[in-house]
Amino acid sequence: MHWQTSRFRLDLSRPLVMGIVNVTPDSFSDGGRHADTAAALRHGEQLLKDGADILDIGGESTRPGSPRVPLEVELARVLPVVRAAVSWGVPLSVDTYKSAVMQQVLDLGADIINDIAALREPGAAEAVAAHPACGVCLMHMHRDPQTMQVQPMAGDVLPPVLSFLELRAQALQALGVDKARIVLDPGIGFGKTVEQNFALLARQGELLAAGYPLLAGWSRKSALGAVTGLDAPQRTIPSVAAAVLAAERGAHVLRVHDVRETVQALKILAAVQAAAPRPGPP
C-alpha cells in the first residue's frame, strides 16, 4: 500500500511516523514573529533527526473549547515555516481546516493536507481536488472543537465514524481525487468518550476494512490521561504504548509528539513481525 502525496509516493508497508510541529506563539505575539518560525523549524529538524517520516505543521490549537484562530493569524504562523521546510525534501503535512490555508501551503509545495474537519469547510475539498497529487488525511470529528466534548457521541462509535469517513472519501473522489491520495483517521479524542476512543483502537480492523490507509493520533490525548492519571506532558509512555498497539493492529501512519521514543518502540514491533511465521504455500 502507498500514499500518493505532492512530491512523494509514501510506502506504507511499515508504519510511518508523523511528527507534530506546533507553530504556537510566544506569550503575547500573534505568531509569524521570526522567533516563533525559527523555534518551529528547529523543532522540525530535531524530529527529523529523531526519525520522523513526515512533519505535520499546525498553526491552530484545536483543544476542546479553544477559540478559533483568525485566518490571517494562522497564515502568519504557518506560511513562513512551510516556505522554509519545503526545501528540506521531506514529506510536509499541514494541519488545517481552512481552505485559504490549504490553497497557499499547496502553492508553496506542501505534500499533505491534514484536516480535522475532513474537508467540510467551504472550498476545502475543491482546494485539494484542484491540486494534481497532494495527499489528504480525512479525520472524523463529532460536532466541532468548541462543542465536541460538551455532548460526546452516543452509543456504538464504529458505524457513524466509518460511514462518515467513507462518505467524505467518496465525495472527494467524486471531485476527481484519486483514492491513492486519501488516508482516513478516526479522530481520537474528538467528541468521543474514553471508552469510545479505546473501542476505536480495539476495533481498528473494522476501520481498515474500508480499504483506505489509516492514521492514528493517540499522542498525549486525554483518554490516556484518564487511564493513567498523568497530565499531558507526562503521557509519553502511554502515547508510545498506544501508537505501538495501533501499529500492531494495522495503522499506517502514527501522528506523535514523541518521535524518538515512538521510533525506538516501533523497532521492537518490526522485530516481532519479522520473526512471525508467515502464511506461505502448504
Q: How far is the CB of 179 from ligand 7PM (least distance, A)?
A: 18
In the complex, minimum distance from the CB of residue 256 to ligand 7PM, in angstroms, rounded to a whole number = 9
Q: CA 78, 262, 14, 161 torsion: positive or negative?
A: negative
Residue nearer to ligand 7PM on the CB measure, 210 or 268? 210
221 catalytic residue (yes or no): yes
- Please list the alpha-helical segments (H only) found in the chain: 34-49, 71-85, 99-108, 124-130, 158-174, 194-202, 204-208, 222-228, 236-248, 259-275
Residue 95 or 258 having the CB closest to ligand 7PM: 95
Q: How many CB atoms lie within 10 A of CB 45?
A: 14
Task: Categorise residue 221: left if φ over 0, alpha if ψ from -120 to 50, beta otherwise.
Answer: beta
Residues 170-209 vs ligand 7PM: string with x where CB under 6 A? ---------------x-xx---------------------
9 near ligand 7PM, judged by CB under 6 A:
no
Toward ligand 7PM, which CB reaches closer, 120 or 282? 120
- Within 10 angstroms of residue 15's Cβ, the number of other Cβ atoms is 23
The smaller minimum CB distance to ligand 7PM, of residues 108 and 243, is found at 243
User: How far is Cα 255 from Cα 242, in angstroms, rounded to an integer?
Assistant: 11
C-alpha distances out from residue 154 to 86, 121, 162, 191, 193, Å: 42, 24, 15, 10, 9
128 binds ligand 7PM (CB under 6 A): no
135-139 and 182-185 beta bridge pairing: parallel
Least distance between ligand 7PM and beta carbon 221 (Å): 6
Look up residue 85 and give its amino acid: A
User: Which positions from 33 through 72 interact with ligand 7PM, judged by CB under 6 A?
Assistant: 61-63
Of 124, 128, 200, 215, which lies in the binding site for ligand 7PM, with binding defined by CB under 6 A? 215
- Residue closer to ligand 7PM (CB basis): 6 or 197: 197
**Residue span binding ligand 7PM (CB under 6 A) among the ranges 24-32, 46-54, 199-207, 213-221:** 213-221
* Residue whose C-alpha is closest to residue 109's, from 92, 95, 96: 92
In angstroms, rounded to a whole number, what is the distance separating the alpha carbons of residues 101 and 51? 27
| In the complex, minimum distance from the CB of residue 274 to ligand 7PM, in angstroms, rounded to a whole number | 28
Q: Which of 221, 235, 249, 260 is catalytic?
A: 221
Backbone φ and ψ for 221, nearest 5 degrees, come out as -70, 155
139 belongs to the binding site for ligand 7PM (CB under 6 A):
yes
Question: Which amino acid, residue 67?
Answer: P
Q: Which of 255, 258, 259, 265 binds ligand 7PM (CB under 6 A)?
A: 255
Q: Is residue 192 flagged as an active site residue?
A: no
Residues in contact with ligand 7PM, counted by CB under 6 A, come to a total of: 17
Of 220, 174, 222, give the one whose Cα is nearest residue 197: 222
Which CB atom, from 61 or from 170, has the smaller least distance to ligand 7PM?
61
Catalytic residues: 221, 255
* Interface residue list for ligand 7PM (CB under 6 A): 20, 61-63, 95, 114, 116, 137, 139, 185, 187-188, 215, 217, 220-221, 255
